[in-house]
A and B are shown apart, each in its own frame.
Chain A
Amino acid sequence: MPDVKLVNISKRYGKGKIIAADKVNLEIKDGEYFTILGPSGCGKSTLLKIIAGIVKPDEGEVYVGGKLINDIPIEERHIAMVFQNILLFPHMNVEENIGYAPRVKGIERERRVKIVEEIVSMLKLTLRSTAFPDELSRGAQQKVSLARAIASETNLFLLDEPLSALDSRVRLELRYELRRLVKELGVTAIHVTHDQEEAMSISDRIAIMKRGRIIEVGSPVELYLGPRTIFTAHFLGKMNFMEGTVKEVSKGECLVEIFGGVKIRTKVKGRFLRERVVLAIRPEFIKLSKTINESDQNVIEGKIVEKFYTGSYVYYKVKLENGIEVFTLTEAKKMYNDGDKIYASFPPEYVILFKYPEEGLEKQISLE
């Protein structure tokens, strides 16, 4: 069965100058919806192509179902690929495109028609089966290419930015379809994307990749709420960072002094005493109010600098009294205006600490 294992995979391009994969080790379980997430140029597509057999690794081994497949040619790997650029046969109609793999395999017409019918109903494709690709919307075209991949009856799906070329609305709808299909079919899917929300909403697990390296692997919730690296914290959703120094460590708590002598209590257990740290908190965890409430902790006075309306929620840029700017995500029920004086509270349980990186914070969170 198709569990996938990559062992020490390395790949360089351009006379060895560009490292697309740098000793990558990954284990993807049978039936898992696994996503590789990273910025452009991080090497995620190369990894997918190595699994597919389109690109040969310089070093390392690829195992599918426990079998070493490094030397097995593409056509014998029985892997279905769906790309960002939709590759349908333009001269074939929907039915012929979907039924292509079964036909090549020599399955007779009657059974072929049945396979196609099943897939069409599974995908809820409400299309004329005699329509040609150029008569379809892009979303419908991508559905047909998915259908074609399903018809190939393989049990490993490699999806290379399958939704990126679609309209944002259509993209959202197809997202859920993808996961549903993979789970219904019981296949293993490896999905490559640069879209964090897409990755979080459909994956069982995510691997965060940067410059050819796997930075972290975990479930969406693990990575979002408890990132182990600054890069993951920054890449997977919005995050506020502040530099500070740990002043006191006690049982189950530590006290961090940030810019301007402001002290923040955190629930991080006794680490980093007297060390330089990076303090992080997500915008949705910062509480804003007009007055100081008894129960609020780590309260800092500030001023609304800017607001970005996003529907039921608003992003505020808040300038704290120590000069630091933070983003908050707040319900749009009570709206503040630019210049309003407010109190921002940082609940200790949502404050994360990282060791201050040697090469500096900026470098760590750089996306390119």
Chain B
Amino acid sequence: MTAAVVEARGLSKSYGTRPAVVDLSFTVAPGECLGLLGPNGAGKSTTIKMLLGLALPSAGTLSVLGMPMTPRTAGAIKARLGVVQQDDSLDPDLTVEMNLLVYASYFGIGRAEAARRADVLISAAELGDYRHAPIRTLSGGMRRRLMLGRALINEPALLVLDEPTTGLDPQARRLVWERVRARKRSGTTILLTTHYMEEAAQLCDRLIIIDQGRILAEGRAPELIAERVGTEVVEVYVPEDDHPEPIVARLAGGPWRLERAGQTVYLYLRDVDAATTLPWLGGLEYSRRRATLEDVFLTLTGHTLRD
């Protein structure tokens, strides 16, 4: 068993009296893609900040690439990290190519080597036609691809992706996924945060679902779905002018777990033959589908809106 790339033990962080991360422990194994899932304010960004030395833990220990993360070791650790931050942080006054070259210089990569790597990364990001274009002329998807390329300029041992596709359209999102998968195939260890379940299911070998700074569940996506939700979900839509209570009462006690959110009643079926339940729903609008990671997420973090 090789040493973990990231090892967090009892990690906590409070801002004043408000806890952002509470007693978080997890490891990322070499070559693994670990997904950190949680609603807004769950503590994902704080965890990433601690990983970059931009937030100092209130308690616990964090070691990255075999070194304890301290202000003294931060530079040596970050020399081997590739980071795609949530917000666009490209240099708007520089061209696509200069963005990569300047970023390479922060790592002390020599000019010739930087130019060689920039070439490879520009074509991998499919930005060949934009090499000399200023950043402000790029679309959101192009910028994100460039951010991802920039994060690879130092050939990192650990890639940290903080919500890498937030705000992208489906085409652009899939292109970013494709690039991340390519890195996975080449053996790069990845830590990814997201609140897109499909993204987590597509890219991550293992998931940690956190909310309010605490770990709620941990495991592989299919296992989490099977354990926490079941196999199928029936969503029953109660008409706007009806009270859901009588319907909830009528559906309660069946061989399923029942949850209600507003005018929708969710039935989580484990291994029942769903056909036997359908007559119960006569007259009501409903849909029946396979259980997904999103159901796990909503089951664990609730249906209430987060800001």
A-B interaction: no
A residues bordering B, Cβ < 8 Å? none
Chain B residues within CB distance 8 Å of chain A: none
